[in-house]
Structure 1
Amino acid sequence: MSAELDFTFSDTVAGYVTGYDPERAVLDLKTSDGRPLRADVSALTDAEFLRNLGGPAIDATAHVPDLLVPGRHLFVQGTFYPGGRFEAKHLTFLGRRPGEYNFEEQGWWAEQLDELARFYRRAQFGRKNPVDYADYRTMLRLGGDKSDHHVQETDTISRLVYGMASAYMLTGNEDFLGVAERGTEYLRAHMRFVDRDEDVVYWYHGIDVRDGVETKLFTSEFGDDYDALPAYEQIYALVGPTQAYRVTGDPRIAEDIDGTLRLFHKFFHDPERGGYFSHVDPILLSPHHQSLGHNRSRKNWNSVGDHAPAYLINLFLATGDKRHADMLEETFDLITEHFPDPDSPFVQERFHADWSPDREWGWQQDRAVVGHNLKIAWNLMRMNAIRPKESYRRLAEQIGRSMPAVGSDTRRGGWYDVVERTIRDGEQVPRFSWHDRKAWWQQEQAILAYMILAGNTGDEEFLRQAREASSFYNAYFLDHDEGGVYFNVLANGTPYLLGTERLKGSHSMSMYHASELCFLATVYGRLLLHDQPLTLWFKPRPDGFSDRVLRVAPDALPPGRVRLEWVEVDGRPYGEFDPVAMTVSLPDTTQDLVVRAHLSPLENR
Structure 2
Amino acid sequence: MKGTDFSFSDLIAGYVVSADPVSGDFKLKTSDGREFSIGIAPAAHAKLLRNLGEPYRDCTDKMKEMLVPGCYLYVYGTFYPEDGGLEFEAQQLTFVGDEPGRYRAEERDWWIQQIQELSEFYLRAQFEGGPIDYSQYRTHISLDGRKLSRATVRQETDTISRLVYGFATAFLMTGEDRYLEAAEKGTEYLREHMRFRDVEDDIVYWYHGIDVRSGHEEKVRASTVKDRVGAVEDKIFASEFGDDYDAIPAYEQIYALAGPVQTYRITGDPRILEDAERTVSLFRRYFRDPSEQGGYFSHLDPITLDGRSPRLGDNRARKNWNSVGDHAPAYLLNLFLATGDERYADFLAETADTIVRRFPEPFRSPFVQERFHEDWSPDREWRWQQDRAVVGHNAKIAWNLMRIHHLRPDARYVELARALGETMPAVGSDRQRGGWYDVMERMLRPGKTQYHFTWHDRKAWWQQEQAILAYLILAGSLGDETALRHAREASSFYNAFFLDHEDGAVYFNVLANGVPYLMGNERLKGSHSMSGYHAFELCYLAAVYTNLLITKQPMDFYFKPRPGAFKDGLLRVAPDILPPGRIRIGSVTADGEPYSDFDADGLTVRLPDTRTTLKFRVRLEPVDR
Q: Given that residues 140 and 525 in structure 2 are in contact (C-alpha distance below 8 angstroms), is that contact kept between their aligned partners in structure 1? A: yes
Q: Residue 213 of structure 2 corresponds to which residue in structure 1?
A: 210
Q: Residue 190 of structure 1 corresponds to which residue in structure 2?
A: 193
Q: Residue 319 of structure 1 corresponds to which residue in structure 2?
A: 339
Q: Residue 286 of structure 1 corresponds to which residue in structure 2?
A: 306
In the TM superposition, 1:191-590 aligns within 5 A as 191-211=194-214, 212-272=231-291, 273-342=293-362, 343-590=364-611
Q: Residue 63 of structure 2 corresponds to which residue in structure 1?
A: 64
- The offset of 1:214, in angstroms, is 1.2
Mapped to 2, the partners of 1:123 and 1:207 lie a distance apart of 20
Q: Residue 183 of structure 2 corresponds to which residue in structure 1?
A: 180
Q: Given that residues 164 and 182 in structure 2 are in contact (C-alpha distance below 8 angstroms), is that contact kept between their aligned partners in structure 1? A: yes
Mapped to 1, the partners of 2:161 and 2:450 lie a distance apart of 37
- The offset of 1:23, in angstroms, is 4.1
Mapped to 1, the partners of 2:308 and 2:282 lie a distance apart of 16
Q: Residue 154 of structure 1 corresponds to which residue in structure 2?
A: 157
Q: Residue 145 of structure 1 corresponds to which residue in structure 2?
A: 146
Q: Residue 219 of structure 2 corresponds to which residue in structure 1?
A: none
Instruction: Return the letter of the residue paired with 2:118.
Output: L
Q: Given that residues 554 and 620 in structure 2 are in contact (C-alpha distance below 8 angstroms), is that contact kept between their aligned partners in structure 1? A: yes
In the TM superposition, 1:4-153 aligns within 5 A as 4-82=3-81, 83-129=85-131, 131-149=132-150, 150-153=153-156
Mapped to 2, the partners of 1:204 and 1:219 lie a distance apart of 7
- The offset of 1:230, in angstroms, is 0.2
Mapped to 2, the partners of 1:25 and 1:122 lie a distance apart of 44
Mapped to 1, the partners of 2:172 and 2:351 lie a distance apart of 28
- The offset of 1:24, in angstroms, is 4.4
**Cα deviations by residue, 1:293-339 (Å, 9 ceiling, x for unpaired):** 01000000000010000000000000000100011111110111011
- The offset of 1:429, in angstroms, is 2.0
Percent of aligned pairs with the same amino acid: 62
Q: TM-score, normalised by structure 2?
A: 0.95
- The offset of 1:25, in angstroms, is 4.1
Mapped to 2, the partners of 1:429 and 1:438 lie a distance apart of 18
Instruction: Return the letter of the residue paired with 1:402.
Output: T
**Cα deviations by residue, 1:367-392 (Å, 9 ceiling, x for unpaired):** 00000000000000000111000011
Instruction: Return the letter of the residue paired with 1:504.
Output: K
Mapped to 1, the partners of 2:60 and 2:621 lie a distance apart of 39
- The offset of 1:425, in angstroms, is 3.7
1:209 is paired with a residue of what secondary structure?
A: strand
Mapped to 2, the partners of 1:405 and 1:316 lie a distance apart of 35
1:518 is paired with a residue of what secondary structure?
A: helix
Mapped to 1, the partners of 2:283 and 2:122 lie a distance apart of 31
Q: CA RMSD in A?
A: 0.9
Mapped to 1, the partners of 2:450 and 2:590 lie a distance apart of 55
Q: Residue 226 of structure 2 corresponds to which residue in structure 1?
A: none
**Cα deviations by residue, 1:494-553 (Å, 9 ceiling, x for unpaired):** 000000000000000001000000000010001000010011000000031111110000
Mapped to 2, the partners of 1:23 and 1:50 lie a distance apart of 24
Mapped to 1, the partners of 2:176 and 2:25 lie a distance apart of 49
Mapped to 1, the partners of 2:111 and 2:419 lie a distance apart of 28
Mapped to 1, the partners of 2:620 and 2:396 lie a distance apart of 26
Mapped to 1, the partners of 2:492 and 2:24 lie a distance apart of 25
Q: Given that residues 377 and 396 in structure 1 are in contact (C-alpha distance below 8 angstroms), is that contact kept between their aligned partners in structure 2? A: yes
Mapped to 1, the partners of 2:540 and 2:431 lie a distance apart of 27
Mapped to 2, the partners of 1:32 and 1:288 lie a distance apart of 47
**Cα deviations by residue, 1:12-62 (Å, 9 ceiling, x for unpaired):** 110111111244442211111000111110220000000001111110000
Instruction: Return the letter of the residue paired with 2:494.
Output: Y
2:502 is paired with a residue of what secondary structure?
A: coil
2:165 is paired with a residue of what secondary structure?
A: helix
Mapped to 2, the partners of 1:210 and 1:437 lie a distance apart of 37
1:584 is paired with a residue of what secondary structure?
A: strand
Q: Given that residues 21 and 65 in structure 2 are in contact (C-alpha distance below 8 angstroms), is that contact kept between their aligned partners in structure 1? A: no
Residue 163 (structure 1) aligned with residue 166 (structure 2): yes
Aligned positions, number: 602
Q: Given that residues 251 and 543 in structure 1 are in contact (C-alpha distance below 8 angstroms), is that contact kept between their aligned partners in structure 2? A: no
**Structure 2: which 5+ residue stretches go unaligned?**
215-230
1:471 is paired with a residue of what secondary structure?
A: helix
Q: Given that residues 76 and 91 in structure 1 are in contact (C-alpha distance below 8 angstroms), is that contact kept between their aligned partners in structure 2? A: yes
Mapped to 2, the partners of 1:3 and 1:75 lie a distance apart of 24
Mapped to 2, the partners of 1:334 and 1:293 lie a distance apart of 25
**Cα deviations by residue, 1:456-490 (Å, 9 ceiling, x for unpaired):** 11111000000000000000000000000000000
**Cα deviations by residue, 1:118-164 (Å, 9 ceiling, x for unpaired):** 000110002123x1111100000000000013111000100000000
Mapped to 2, the partners of 1:591 and 1:512 lie a distance apart of 31
Mapped to 2, the partners of 1:509 and 1:399 lie a distance apart of 26
Instruction: Return the letter of the residue paired with 1:278.
Output: S
Mapped to 2, the partners of 1:182 and 1:443 lie a distance apart of 30
Mapped to 2, the partners of 1:560 and 1:423 lie a distance apart of 43
Q: Given that residues 249 and 299 in structure 2 are in contact (C-alpha distance below 8 angstroms), is that contact kept between their aligned partners in structure 1? A: yes
Mapped to 1, the partners of 2:596 and 2:331 lie a distance apart of 30
Instruction: Return the letter of the residue paired with 1:484.
Output: A
Mapped to 1, the partners of 2:613 and 2:21 lie a distance apart of 63
Instruction: Return the letter of the residue paired with 1:154.
Output: T
Instruction: Return the letter of the residue paired with 1:225.
Output: D
2:531 is paired with a residue of what secondary structure?
A: coil
- The offset of 1:437, in angstroms, is 0.2
Mapped to 1, the partners of 2:260 and 2:23 lie a distance apart of 60
46-55 or 21-30: which moved more? 21-30
2:86 is paired with a residue of what secondary structure?
A: coil
Q: Given that residues 584 and 621 in structure 2 are in contact (C-alpha distance below 8 angstroms), is that contact kept between their aligned partners in structure 1? A: yes
Mapped to 2, the partners of 1:255 and 1:25 lie a distance apart of 64
Mapped to 1, the partners of 2:384 and 2:393 lie a distance apart of 15
Q: Given that residues 94 and 101 in structure 1 are in contact (C-alpha distance below 8 angstroms), is that contact kept between their aligned partners in structure 2? A: yes
Mapped to 2, the partners of 1:182 and 1:580 lie a distance apart of 34
Q: Given that residues 370 and 416 in structure 1 are in contact (C-alpha distance below 8 angstroms), is that contact kept between their aligned partners in structure 2? A: yes
Mapped to 1, the partners of 2:26 and 2:597 lie a distance apart of 59
Instruction: Return the letter of the residue paired with 2:113.
Output: E
Mapped to 2, the partners of 1:62 and 1:43 lie a distance apart of 12
Mapped to 2, the partners of 1:185 and 1:540 lie a distance apart of 16
Mapped to 2, the partners of 1:25 and 1:235 lie a distance apart of 53
Q: Given that residues 318 and 372 in structure 2 are in contact (C-alpha distance below 8 angstroms), is that contact kept between their aligned partners in structure 1? A: yes
Mapped to 1, the partners of 2:207 and 2:8 lie a distance apart of 48
- The offset of 1:426, in angstroms, is 3.3
Mapped to 1, the partners of 2:478 and 2:207 lie a distance apart of 42
Mapped to 1, the partners of 2:290 and 2:624 lie a distance apart of 44
Mapped to 2, the partners of 1:543 and 1:12 lie a distance apart of 56
